[in-house]
Amino acid sequence: MYISIRTTKSLLASLLLGHAIAHPGSSAGHDPSQFENASTIVRDVAVIGGGASGTYAAIQLRKMGHSVVVVEREPLLGGHTNTYYDPVSGQYVDYGVLIWQDIPEARDFLAHFKISTTTVRVDNSNGARVDLRTGQNVPPPQGNVTDAMMRYVQQLLKYPYLAEGWDLPDPVPEDLLLPFGEFVEKYDLAPAVETLSLYAQGLKDWLPYPTVYIMKYFSLGVALGAQNGFLGTVDGNNGALYKAARKELGDDALLGSTVVRMERPANRPHRILVRTPSGDRLIRAKKTIITAPPKLENLANFDLDDTERGVFGQFENTFYYTTVTRIPGLPAGLGILNRGADTPYNLPPLPGVYTITPSRVPEIYTIFYGGGEAMTEDEVKQSISNSVLMLREAQFNTSAPEILAISNHSPFELFVSSDKIARGFYSNLYALQGHRNTYYAGAAFHAHDSAALWRFVGNLLKTMFD
C-alpha cells in the first residue's frame, strides 16, 4: 500500500509505439500478416501489466495449474514499487510502495519468495511542519487527533464492503458522495485531516473529492495498521519481491514489451500481438487479465468495444512522482510535512511536495510530489529543488538537493464525480468483469494498496475458473 506515495510508470499513448487502433476491429496502420508472421505463445491466460496485481495474478495462476504469460512495458515487474540502491552505504531505499497491510495474502505472497519481513510502525509525529512556498513554520493540528480519528473509524465501520472493492449499494449512501470537506465538517474530523491526508497522497486537493475515495485510501485495514503496525521487508528492499517473481516466471514474463494489436472474440482464443525487445510475439490465450490503468490513451491498441470505451472514457486522474533525494543540512531523522499556513486544515497547496521523509541512509530522503495539473519531470525536479531551498527560511541549513532517482506514477488515482458514482458508474465498471473473456484488476478496480489488491485478485481468480 501507499503511505506518502502511488504507483505504475506513465502508460501514455507513446508507450504503444504509435500503433493506435482508431476503432474496435479497425486494421488501420496494421499489416494483417503481422499475426501470421510472429512466433506464437499459447497460454491459458494473458496478463497485461506486471505491477502488484498482474504479478500476483500470474504467480497464483501458475499455482492453480494454469499457464500464463505477462506483458509489462517496463524492464522489471512491480509497477508502483520502486527501490533505490545506495552504493556508498550498501542500503536499499524504497520510494514507491513502502509497506503492506499485514494480512494473510501479503504474508503468504512474501513467504512464497522467502522475503524476510518485520512489523513496521508508522510515526508521523517527528516532523517539522513548513509552508514550502514561504518557509513559514505551521503549527500542528488543533484539537484531539485521537478522538477525531476514532470518529472517522466509526464512520468507516458503516461501510465494510469498501474493503472488498467497489460493490456499492443502490442507492449509494449520501455520506460517501459528500465532498470530503463537507464530511469533515459534518462529523467534526478537523483534527484528523492531517493524518488522513498523509495516508492519501498522490491526490489533488483532498477536500472536493467524494468521501468514498478518502475511505478507500484510509480503510479499515489501514486503520488497523496505523494502530498495530504494517508489514515491511527487513532490508527495505521491496523490489526483491518482484525480482524473485521475475525469476520464477522466467520466459513467461515479457518485459520491455508493449501491445501492438489485440483481438478478443468472446467465443475463441484471444490474439495479442506484442512487441518485445527480441521481436514481435503473438499470444493466443483463452482469457485476458488487464491490470494497466484503464485510461483510453493507455488502451489505444486494445480492441475496445463501445461498452468498454464508454466506461473507461469517464475516468479522470492525477499525476504523481516519487523521488529519492540527497539533502545535506537537515537534522538527522527529521522529516518535513508540507503544510499551508493559510489553507483549510493547513493542507499543502498543490501541485507540490507532500512530504520529505528520512530514509535509513543519512542525508537521503524520499520526496513525494503531485496534485493539480500534470507537470513534466524537469518541472517537478525544479519545484522540488525550490521547495528544499525554501527550508532555509525555516532556519534549516539545507544545500541544493540532488535527485538520485525519480519515478513517474501517472496516471494516478483514477476517479469519477459523485454524480457518476450515484448513477452507477462502478456497477458498470464491474459489469466488464468477464465481458469478452476479459477480466480487470489494479487500483482503479479497488484501491492503491498492494496487499488489498492481492486479496482482490485472489477472489477474482476464483470467479474466473468457477
Amino acid at 6: R
* pLDDT of amino acid 35: 67
* pLDDT of amino acid 251: 96
Q: Please count the helices (runs of H) and the strands (runs of E) in the chain.
A: 15, 20
The percent of residues above 90 in pLDDT, for the chain, comes to 89
Cβ atoms of residues 205 and 347 within 8 Å: yes
* pLDDT of amino acid 353: 97
Q: State pTM to two decimals.
A: 0.91
Q: Determine the average pLDDT of the residues in 233-256.
A: 97
* pLDDT of amino acid 140: 94
What is the pLDDT confidence band of residue 38, given thresholds at 50, 70 and 90?
confident
For residue 18, pLDDT beyond 80? no
Q: Determine the average pLDDT of the residues in 383-389.
A: 98
And the C-alpha cell for 75? 524492464
What is the pLDDT confidence band of residue 1, given thresholds at 50, 70 and 90?
low
Residue 242 CA to residue 78 CA, distance in Å, equals: 6
Nearest Cα neighbor of 138 from 128, 124, 125, 148 is 128
Q: Looking at 247-401, which runs of residues are DSSP E strands?
A: 253-254, 258-263, 270-276, 279-290, 316-318, 320-326, 335-338, 352-358, 364-370
* pLDDT of amino acid 372: 81
For residue 156, pLDDT beyond 90? yes
402-408 β-sheet, strand order: 136-137, 127-131, 335-338, 352-358, 364-370, 320-326, 402-408
For residue 23, pLDDT beyond 60? no
Q: How far is CA 188 from CA 2, 213, 403, in A?
A: 26, 19, 40
Q: What single DSSP character describes residue 23? A: S
Give the DSSP letter string of 300-341.
Answer: TTS---HHHHHHHTT-EEE-EEEEEEE-TTSPTT-EEEE--T
Cis peptide before 351 (omega within 30 of 0): yes
What is the pLDDT confidence band of residue 373, given thresholds at 50, 70 and 90?
confident
Q: Please state, as a whole number, how many other Cβ atoms lie within 10 Å of the Cβ of residue 458.
A: 16
Q: Which residue has the higher pLDDT, 30 or 456?
A: 456
The percent of residues above 70 in pLDDT, for the chain, comes to 92
Nearest Cα neighbor of 443 from 162, 110, 53 is 53
Q: Determine the average pLDDT of the residues in 188-201.
A: 95
For residue 27, pLDDT beyond 50? no
And the C-alpha cell for 432? 466488464
And the C-alpha cell for 31? 499489416
And the C-alpha cell for 365? 530522503
And the C-alpha cell for 311? 466506461
For residue 17, pLDDT beyond 60? no
* pLDDT of amino acid 34: 64
SS3 content of the chain, % helix, strand, coil (to 5): 35, 25, 45
What is the pLDDT confidence band of residue 43, given thresholds at 50, 70 and 90?
very high
pLDDT, averaged across the chain: 92
Per residue in 330-364, pLDDT (tens digit) is 999 999 999 999 999 999 999 999 999 999 999 99
* pLDDT of amino acid 32: 54
For residue 218, pLDDT beyond 60? yes
Residue 423 CA to residue 425 CA, distance in Å, equals: 6
* pLDDT of amino acid 33: 61
* pLDDT of amino acid 9: 33
Strand partners for 39 = 281
* pLDDT of amino acid 89: 96
Torsion of CA 356, 358, 363, 367, to 10 degrees: -30
* pLDDT of amino acid 31: 57
Compute CA 346 distance to the chain's CA centroid, rounded to the nearest angstrom: 25
Residue 163 neighbours by CB under 8 Å, 6+ apart? 219, 220, 221, 452
* pLDDT of amino acid 30: 53
Number of residues written out for the chain: 466
Per residue in 69-103, pLDDT (tens digit) is 999 999 999 999 999 999 999 999 999 999 999 99
What is the pLDDT confidence band of residue 125, given thresholds at 50, 70 and 90?
low
Q: Determine the average pLDDT of the residues in 30-38.
A: 63
